[in-house]
Chains A and B, each alone.
Chain A
Amino acid sequence: MHSFLRNHPTEAKLLAVLILICAGLSLASPDFLTLVNFTSLLNNNAVNVIWAVGLLVVLIAGGIDISFAVAASVVQYLCVYAFAGIGGGNWAIGFLFAGGFGLALGLINAFLIHQFRIISIVVTISTFNAFFGLLMFFSSGRFLYNLPSWWSKRVILWEHQTASGTWAELILPVAVMVAAMLATWVLIRRTTTGRQLYAFGDNPEGARRAGIPIGLMQAIAFGWCGMMAGIGGLMQAHITKEVVPNALVGRELEVLAAVVLGGARLGGGRGSVLGCFLGVLLVAITQNGLNLLGVSPYAFKMVVGIIILLAISTSNLDPAKWFEPRKGGRT
């Protein structure tokens, strides 16, 4: 416990804040601390968490990716046409295709960044515009509803009828979310590649001199983010049962905010899967709580903005420092 506090101060603080908010909400609203509410929270935020862990790897490697949400939309369109082309498909093929298309789009970013030494934000803003413009141009903004039945049919993994008669259920994206979190955790914490990603993000030049292949690092980071974007896109279409070209634009900044709230540093070398999850959850639970308290939906975003602003304002404060004696003079 003590080592958790020391090694993961941001995550610990976030967890404490979350517990406080949950305690407050469960006192204020009888509907908050229910099984139905919690399962629906998980169902509704699974896709964000999948994207968040993908983005996390890029942030750890010292980059930033603005294009992943648009890439997810591109993957959705490619998938619809690919499945129609091969005459149906199933979940295995679906994951393979979505992950593969996403990976390819991520590798485009990695190639441009590494080959031409362009900073990642410039590349991903360019590819954001290129992907989105081309998608809107070729799709003419059309919605697609003709998804294969396996894709759009709701897959319920677990359900339970509560005493009041309503059903609490967990759907497929939640399982995919858990798998994505687990896979990312193994990648960044349990493999040599993961250690190299942290080292590369913390000090690219030092990592290069230590013999870490930096091209490969970029490819892994952006490829992973692209793959998660693709899989997240697949899950998003599974939930909404339709593919809309501009539905996901703007989500990239929300996810970015959640990941950075969870302790990942813009600039590289820091971040954890648990932090990502907590960051997404903080935003989600705040919105959920406001909803249950009967606050006007128009005010949600305002409060979420304040919460993020407060969270980042306090995350840079270190309570331990308050109790240290001042070392003379100005610091």
Chain B
Amino acid sequence: MTALYRRAIAAFGPEVPGLLGFLALVVLIFGLTAPNFLTGANFGSIAFQLPELGLLTLAMLMPIISGGFNLAIITTANMAGLTLAFVLNQYGGVDAGLAPFLLGTLLALLVGAASGAVMGAVIAYIGAHPILVSLAMMIFLRGLGEFLTKGGDISGFPPWMAAIGHGTVIGIPVPLILFLACAFVWHVILNRTRHGFSVRMIGSSIRAAAYSGLHTKRTLVLIYTLSGVMCAAAGILMLSRFNSVRVGHGEALLLVTVLACFLGGVDPFGGFGRVLPVVIALVVLQVLSSGLNLLGANQHLSTAVWGLFLVGVMILRWGAARLSERKKRS
């Protein structure tokens, strides 16, 4: 049994049992106090709400593991959504068929990749700090989006697109399938490929990685490019869920994605972090929010609870680290 437990820890990361414990605790508390919490409808709505934040968090995750940051995720997602919206409106809006959708999706992914690649290139080849570069990109993209849309909404998409945002396949929400697929791809990239190895090494020490012969600059460009592509996926999902695009949609989620990464045990200094604990952390956050919602609190109180929850978890981790240190000494 302990051997099995140890193997599970080695495979999934040491944060997983703690986070699953939190999840169980949160579900238990809300199950006892909130009416309608333990119902299919509630878990269905969680499954529909989670993927948006989830995709954006994945986009934030890879730069953070590399010791960087991508503050432009929301505006990149907005720009990608706008790209798709422009293409759809160009080819008939509500009457647009599948071909314009595919073209728009391709262009949206390219826009995401391009904005990420520019950031990555500036970070890698000029050596500027990722926070600052992505901040400048965020301001630029928001300005570009506002310039193109004059700050308004774009809507009028074919009705069949609602299937992406609201449909189900054999009972599983399509957004959730999309999110789980993306999370799996991210997991494979980070844990099973040469690129993922480079990402973690760069996060631990970029200089040591460079001296060991890793092509750190190319890796950095690729990190932010992939992050941009993931943003674009989030942007397309947001478009089909809201049935409209506006620059600034989802802006409040920017720092929540960082919060989710840290809650999932990602090292703020970079180098360490796994996809699975982050996914569980996202579920915990979403369950917290929906439970509070059922108890009659609004979204703002959940935001506050998320913040306090992260502080609480960090304090507990600090306590646990001290305990294990003391055990080692004695």
Contact = CB atoms under 8 A, between A and B. Distances in A.
Q: How large is the interface on B (under 10, 10 to 19, 20 to 34, 35 or more residues)?
A: 35 or more
Contacts of B318: 116-118
B136 A125 contact: no
A125 B133 contact: no
A301 B75 CA distance: 13
A134 B147 contact: no
A123 to B, nearest CB: 7
B69 to A, nearest CB: 9
A293 to B, nearest CB: 15
Contacts of A320: none
B312 to A, nearest CB: 9
Interface in B253-298: 255-256, 258-259, 262, 268-269, 297-298
Q: DSSP majority for the A interface?
A: helix
A71 interface: no
Given A126-B310, A304-B143, A316 B127 contact: yes
Contact of B135 (A119, A127, A136, A256): A256
Contacts of B255: 66, 125, 128-129
Contacts of B310: 122, 125-126, 129
Contact of B133 (A133, A136, A250, A312): A312
Given A66-B255, A253-B135, A300 B304 contact: no
Nearest to B142: A301
Given A117-B318, A129-B256, A305-B143, A122 B268 contact: yes
Contacts of A56: none
Q: Which of A112, A123, A137 gathers the greatest number of chain B CB atoms within 10 Å?
A: A137
A183 interface: no
A299 B151 CA distance: 11
Given A117-B318, A129-B256, A301 B146 contact: yes
A178 interface: no
Nearest to B122: A313
Contacts of A315: 128
A309 B118 CA distance: 10
Interface of A: 64, 66, 112, 116-119, 121-123, 125-134, 136-137, 250, 253-254, 256-257, 260, 265-267, 296, 298-306, 308-309, 312-313, 315-317
Interface of B: 71, 122, 126-129, 131-133, 135-144, 146-147, 150-151, 251, 255-256, 258-259, 262, 268-269, 297-298, 300-308, 310-311, 314-315, 318
6 contacts: A64-B131, A125-B262, A125-B310, A129-B306, A304-B140, A308-B139
